[in-house]
Chains A and B, each alone.
Chain A
Amino acid sequence: MGLLEQWLSYPAAWDRILSIIGIEIHWLILQYVLGLPLMVLVALLAYRRSGDARWERMARTMTKALGLVFAVGAATGTASEFGLVVVWPNLLEAAGRYIYYPLYLEIFAFLTEIVFIYLLVFGWSKLSVNAKIAVAFLAMFGAWFSGAMITSVNSYMVAPTGIVAAYDPLTGWKYDQGYPKVLLVVPKDIVGALDVGKLQSLGMEVVGDTGQGVAVLMPSKIVARLAAEAWGGVRVRDSVLKLVVKPEALGAVGDLLVKDVVDKILVLTVQTVGYTTVTFQSPVYPGTLVHSIGAGVTVTAFTILGAYALLLIKSRDEKSRDYYMLGLKFGVVASLVAIVLQGAVFGHVMGEEIAKYNPEKLAAMEGTSSSILSVSRMLGLEKLMPLIAYGSLEAKLPSYDAIPADYCTLLGVPGVSDCRPPLMIHYLYYAKIGLAVLLGLYALLLAFLLYRRASLPGWVLWAGALSPVAAQLVSFLGWAVREMGRKPWSIYGVMTVDVAHTMNPADPLAYVLVALLFLGTLAGLIYAAFKVLYEPSVKG
């Protein structure tokens, strides 16, 4: 099977393709909403300290750009939100039932963003420098607050709180013991109706008594099956639960919907963990948060670098060259700091989290399969990677070929034929790493040339002008690895894509039209940026 064919073979291919286009375009834009307020804030602080009007001009230009990207980002965000409702309704319903709190707080984050970003944009000439600094800080707070809420939900989807993955770096895969498992709190009335002996034979482990319920580590293949039955309208008497319900209790619970049983378990679990904190306790949240905001700042920094490099090449306004040079220096310093932090610190934290909590994804990312040409193997990184990922030379990378293709299903439910993540993410991941290293080296070279006050060759400036595209590509590849690498799961260990997506998908033609609409919006944004930001700057 080809790599692309494998990825397309998971259920809901059209839905996934449309979501990639829609969410990626939203992500592409909103990275600037994350990065620009910080850059405006720094420029304003520099202006207050130095009194140099060039800093104020830079802050003003970046604020104009912020207003533009925020408006279009809000449009794509609204569309993505409704897209989730109609394309992934069951996933959204599950999120709304159990992990809604960060989405709820997102309203206030969004309100903060819109008030302070637009106050900065429309009130620029009416605010003092100190007021602008305060407003820029609040705009940044709103944007990062929003990012923190959304990434907590996404983190929960990548590794739900209480997940125990199926890999030990010293002993290998643990599928034969029923892993991966999800920590759940089962209400005592439900426990009383179940045959504990049969449950234990299926890999259930009792962890402790929480008072209202019993904490258990439940194999994800059971959880995934229950999720499929819950959103399929199945009743207990037709469910796999029938196998583990005590015969004397079946009469009383047989008519219940599986959804009601699942609901009781998940509600008590979330209540036990804390409904306000459950997503923030996802084990991959810290890395996700800093890496996501880091991506926004990095892309923004390279875009500033690229914009001023392009102005130095193209502008006929000789009076402004000092200003463009200052902008270029600012962009270079910001890019260098951002990419070093993003790669060496934030990326490393996230990599360790993936290694521990998403081992199947790590196996695909590292290409530990004999069926593909592995870049990692080719470069001789296979011995180094365990040390980086697990902090030990004794550790082993998880073998992709040893992952059972059916580990996420129980008796053929959910309807997924291959539970392994797509191997194509190996190449996407290494393309990302390679490109990021090149970007880092470029920023270092440019910083060196500027420090030495050397003249900048034309190719160096052109490379700078193209660097935002490369930075966006790196970010896209990172996001693609994260999201595609979770397949066939929508929520790892809990819900697969076939359960999450709509029971009434639209015609593919409708999806193509919506995708074209998203692409058209992006083209429109680029055109607007060209007309509003680039053209006036070039003319001087």
Chain B
Amino acid sequence: MEAPVFFLALVFGIHIVAVNVGIALATLVPILKRRAELSGDARLAETARGLFRIYAATYGLAGVMGTAFTVFLLSFYPEFVGVAGNIAMIPFGIAIVAIVLHFFAIVAYWYGWDAFSPTAHFYAGVLLALTAYLIPLGFRAVFAFLNTPAGLSFDGKPWLDVAKALANPTFLPLYLKSVVGALTLGFLFVSAVLAVKGLRGGGLSGVEEDLYRDGLKWGTAGLLAMAFLGAWYTVSLTNTPIKFNNIFKGLGWAVQGVERLSDYSWLFAVKMLLVLAQAHILLRLTVFKPAEASTRAGYLGSIYAATAAALTVLTGEYLNAFSQYPFFVANLPLITSSVPEPWRTILGRSLDLRNVSPLALDPALYAVTAVGLLALLAAAGYFLYVVFLKSE
């Protein structure tokens, strides 16, 4: 596999985990804040504010890594970016509008915490939550297109039939799986944050204890929902037979008559093991031994469950991305013959991940990137330490 793919995977992995946590916190914080206002519960309001502070930091990290991903993509695969930019204005447009509104909502929600009226602040929170779901709507439409390019049309130039693109069989299951997965991770993340507090001996207040247990319960429900949504997405991938076979042929399932280009069944197995680990911990803490949840073992279990959930998101995204290697569009070999020239030639090479821009093949560039990323991630770690752990 090409070195640029690993840089893309590194920043994308950090981005996607942070974004998933963000989607959940952007939903939960406004709800908790509203509940706190309606019940007059100052502790709950303070907890919500603490979670929002974490959200602001994770979103900053997600934003930087998202930008890094875009720039890496542009630098290593410029022709792909050119092709994508020419045809994907609508799905990218949805994401762009949502990103701007979401950033704006974060700023308004953060700075307006005590400055805005409760109603105005609540509506800022509604905007925050709504836009958190709109951003992946645009990007998942793009990802579904990368599975199978539904809506790609030609009339002397390539263009996108948006209605057909949104009817992509992999779009809806992918989108729903993504947001439910994000919520599941988010619920477990909140429980883990509170578990850390419990472990540090701070003791959880009543409202925090409720939130901790609710996080575990909703995380369990989310995991159950993911079993169905995962299956739906898997079935939809039969429309992307090369990708389907790259994941499942090693496990004995395959779409017949289609070649397998790689084998990522092992990554699917890792993901399933992580899911099983979560299920084991969560069922123990919520169903079989709920009294254990607020003990040291329970707190540790919650942290393990959240870590496993984050790794599940990560492996799931890597599985989705790597299983179409070496092509940006998984179905490319199957659709090439229907693409008119010269676009067949242009798409054939611009959608091939092995075609790294010749000017970006310098090993010195990769060395600089690795060192630079390490230094800056260390600086980011120091930032998180100062903001969240260092005393005044």
CB within 8 Å of B: which residues of A?
68, 71-72, 74-76, 78-79, 81-83, 85-90, 92-98, 100-101, 103-104, 106-108, 110-112, 114-116, 118-119, 122-123, 125-127, 231, 233-235, 257, 259, 267, 270-271, 275, 502-506, 510, 513-514, 517-518, 520-521, 524-525, 528, 531-532, 535
Contacts and interface: CB of A to CB of B under 8 A. Distances in A.
Contacts of A71: 103, 106-107
Interface of B: 57, 60, 63-64, 66-68, 70-72, 74-75, 77-79, 81-90, 92-93, 95-97, 99-104, 106-108, 111-112, 115-116, 157-160, 342-343, 345-346, 357-360, 362, 365, 369, 372-373, 376, 379-380, 382-383, 386-387, 390-392
B370 to A, nearest CB: 12
B202 to A, nearest CB: 19
A100 B392 contact: no
B75 A126 contact: no
B346 A524 contact: no
B115 to A, nearest CB: 5
A517 B66 CA distance: 21
Contacts of B112: 528, 531
B134 to A, nearest CB: 12
A503 B154 CA distance: 12
Given A71-B106, A100-B357, A103-B71, A532 B111 contact: yes
Contacts of B72: 104, 107
Given A96-B78, A517-B100, A502 B383 contact: no
B359 A115 contact: no
A154 to B, nearest CB: 16
B99 A119 contact: no
Contacts of A103: 71, 74-75
A75 B99 contact: yes
21 contacts: A68-B111, A71-B107, A75-B103, A78-B103, A79-B96, A89-B84, A92-B74, A92-B78, A93-B81, A103-B75, A107-B64, A115-B376, A118-B60, A259-B346, A502-B86, A503-B157, A510-B93, A521-B104, A524-B104, A525-B107, A531-B115
Contacts of A95: 74, 78
Contacts of A119: 382-383, 386-387
Contacts of B391: 126
B69 to A, nearest CB: 9
Which secondary structure characterizes the binding site on chain B?
helix
Given A86-B93, A96-B78, A503-B157, A74 B104 contact: no
A506 B373 CA distance: 37
A267 B77 CA distance: 14
B104 A89 contact: no
A106 B71 contact: yes
A81 B70 contact: yes
Given A92-B74, A107-B72, A234-B342, 18 more contacts: A71-B103, A75-B99, A75-B107, A89-B86, A93-B78, A96-B81, A103-B71, A111-B64, A115-B383, A119-B387, A123-B383, A126-B386, A503-B86, A505-B89, A510-B93, A514-B93, A514-B96, A517-B101
B107 A528 contact: yes
Contacts of A72: 103-104, 107
Given A96-B75, A106-B71, A504 B160 contact: yes
B359 A235 contact: no
A504 B159 contact: yes
Contact of A82 (B78, B79, B95, B382): B95
Contacts of B66: 78
A63 B173 CA distance: 44
A88 B85 CA distance: 8
Contact of A110 (B67, B81, B86, B96): B67
A104 B75 contact: yes
Contacts of B360: 100
A92 B390 contact: no
Which of A74, A97, A107, A235: most chain B Cβ within 10 A? A107
A79 B71 contact: no
A525 B99 CA distance: 15
Contacts of B158: 503
Contacts of B78: 92-97, 100
A85 B358 contact: no
B6 to A, nearest CB: 15
A524 B358 CA distance: 43
Contacts of A118: 57, 60, 383, 387
Contact of B64 (A88, A114, A528): A114
